[in-house]
Structure formats: structure tokens, C-alpha cells
Amino acid sequence: MKVNIYYGGRGLLDDPTLYVLNKMEEVLRELRVSVERINIYEHKNEIATLPQTMKDVDGIILATTVEWLGIGGYMQQFLDSCWLYGDKEKIKTTYMQPIVMSTTYGEREGELTLANAWEILGGLPCPGLCGYVEDLVSFEMNKDYTVLIEKKAENLYRTISQKMKSLPTSNQAVKQTILRTPQMELTPQESEQLSKYVSDDSYVKKQKEDIQELASMFKDMLGKAGQDDEEAYIETLKTHFAPQEDFRARYLFLLEGRKNPLFVEVNQSALEIHYGQEDKIDVYAKLTTDVMDSIVEGRMTFQRAFMTGEMTAKGNFKILRMLDIMFNFA
């Protein structure tokens, strides 16, 4: 059994949460549980990649300290990353125990926040632990408190080992029926790759510079006459088209430097391609003619162009991934 601990505090010596975590680690290791603690503040520039560390765990502990209000920024960023880049199928089978200690007011609200967040993510919450600590020395010397902490660690071990079930909650009902926040439907591998790009400050900076350069180039090219070739890419796409049974989709490619977008409609074995505006589009894609040239020449795929940021897209991303299946230029 493996348990990861994600600590969202600031790592201060007088942080009561650290004392609680140390005691829980001792108990779990005595029970032959592999325990790894990840201090989020030490990974503040790569928080987007931390959800990928849950791949091989059976359960996790989310621990933080309420110093003035709420669960703190580090823990909130970690939960945001779980929502955006986490493997939802893995989260569904992962137990989570919230640990929230407070030196002010709000430990119960913090524990409830973590439990609600994990349920909305689709995970399995365990009974947590919260408490107010006015004097750390007195707290550490109290044997009754130590017993309570140890019991919580044992309960976590028992819950995971016995795979205990819980009753349905309204959080899950809300997620399934009301909470329809648009998300990119990516595979775990794509989520991991995207999270690495997001956490790479130099990559993000370079992407912004490239976008500005492309925008400037686009403006210059709009002023030049005769740039549009109304037949470009049409014959190439038709030549490399592989029909897909029971598949229908409408794509619109916004090619920088061209006045009219390239419209592609697939209706099973039928293919319609022309330049011009259309409505009821499933996927909008924006890219340069250089990137499009690289794709049709077999030096790049649509998926790779999207993952590296050389092509931006919105719409149904399952339909987006079908482009490389229908048009294989390798």
C-alpha cells in the first residue's frame, strides 16, 4: 500500500500540521505502508505537474494549516491542477483524508472544503482530522491528542485496505447533472504533457512571444494582395482522406494570411472541402500556413501541433483527434 501526503502549508517550524503529519507517518510506516510526503511550497513553480505523482498511490492525505483564512493558495492551486490536468479515472479510485489544523478560526470549514473538492473531482473521501492549536508545546505534550491522531492514521489504513464504500453524496449528483464546466477531454498522457508545458515558465514566455510575432505577421500579410490561393490544401486533403464509418464532423481552419477559412466536412465516406465561412462547426482550429504545410508534408501531425501550441483549437476535442486518423500524411 502506498500513501502520498500533500502538505499545503508554508513549512514553518511551529506549524501544528507538521507535528500531526509526523505522527501519522510513524503509524503508517509501522503498518508497512509506503509513505511519501510532497511539500507543495517546494514545487510552487511546477504545481501543475503534481497530480501526476498520484499514479501509483492507493490513498492520499491533503494537509494544510489555516493561518488567517481558508486552506491557503498552495493547496488551492494543487486542487485546481487536479481539476485541469489530473487523471480523473485514477482519482475515482483514490481515497483522500483531509487534515486541517488552525492557529486561528476556520479549521472545520477547511476540512469541509477539501472533502467537497475531492468529491467533486470524483474521488473517495475518508473521515478527516481538524483542530485548533493555541500553544504547540501543550498540544504536543497532550497524550490524548496523540492517541486521536494515531487512530485517524489507523482508520485511513483500514479504509483503504478494506476498500470501504460510502453513501452517495449531493456533490456527486451536482457534478453529474449541473456542473458542466467545459473541459478538454484529454488522455492521461496528454494531460501530463500539457501540465508540464504549463509549469514551464520559459515555454509559456516563448509561446507568448511566438503568438505576438504571428499576430504581427498576420497583420502584415492581410495588407498584401493576391496571397489567397483558393485551391491550396484541398486536393492534398482529398488524396489522403480515409473515410470513417458512422463519423460526421465539420471543421473550420483559420489559416493566418488568408482572408477565408478552410472548411472541411466529413460525412462518413463523403468529403466536402472549400474556402469560406460556415456555421454549426464542431471544431475551430487556428494555425499558420507554415504549420499546415508541415502537417500535409508529413513532418507534423494535427495532435502534435495542438499539444505544442503551434495550433490552437476549440470545440469537441475527441473530434479534433480524429483528424490524424482521417488524414494520414506520414
Same domain, 230 and 169: no
Question: Does 191 reside within a domain?
Answer: no
Confirm whether 14 is domain-assigned.
Answer: yes
50 and 158 in a single domain? The answer is: yes
Domain finish residue from 177, 197, 232: 177
Question: Does one domain contain both 67 and 129?
Answer: yes
Cell numbers representing residue 53 in the block:
505523482
My answer on whether 166 and 239 are in the same domain is no
pLDDT in the model for residue 41: 94
Domain membership of residue 113 (yes or no) is yes
Q: Is residue 169 situated within a structural domain?
A: yes
Domain boundary, last residue among 113, 148, 177: 177
pLDDT at 227: 44
279 lies in the same domain as 146 = no
Tell whether 159 is covered by a domain.
yes
Is residue 185 in a domain? no
Check whether residue 283 and residue 137 sit in a common domain: no
The domain of 293 spans 224-326
Please report the pLDDT score of residue 259 as a whole number. 83
Q: Which of 144, 177, 210 is the last residue of a domain?
A: 177
Residues 289 and 171 in one domain: no
Asked if residue 24 and residue 157 are part of one domain, the reply reads yes
- What pLDDT sits at residue 186? 65
pLDDT of residue 173: 67
CATH number at residue 84: 3.40.50.360
pLDDT at position 312? 92
Identify whether residues 169 and 235 lie together within a single domain.
Answer: no
Quote the pTM value.
0.60
Q: Is residue 83 part of a domain?
A: yes
169 and 268 co-located in one domain: no
List the pLDDT tens digit at each of the 330 positions of the chain: 999 999 999 999 899 999 999 999 999 999 999 999 999 999 988 899 999 999 999 999 999 999 998 999 999 999 999 998 899 899 999 999 999 999 999 999 999 999 999 999 999 999 999 999 999 999 999 999 999 999 999 999 999 999 988 887 776 666 666 555 455 566 766 666 667 666 666 766 777 777 888 877 766 665 544 444 667 889 999 999 999 989 999 999 999 878 889 999 999 999 999 999 999 999 999 999 999 999 999 999 999 999 888 999 998 888 998 999 999 887
Question: How many domains are contained in the chain?
Answer: 2
Closest CA to 120 of 159, 171, 83, 45: 171
Q: What is the CATH number of the domain that holds 302?
A: 3.30.1050.10
Same structural domain, 162 and 246: no
- Asked if 148 and 244 sit in the same domain, the reply is no
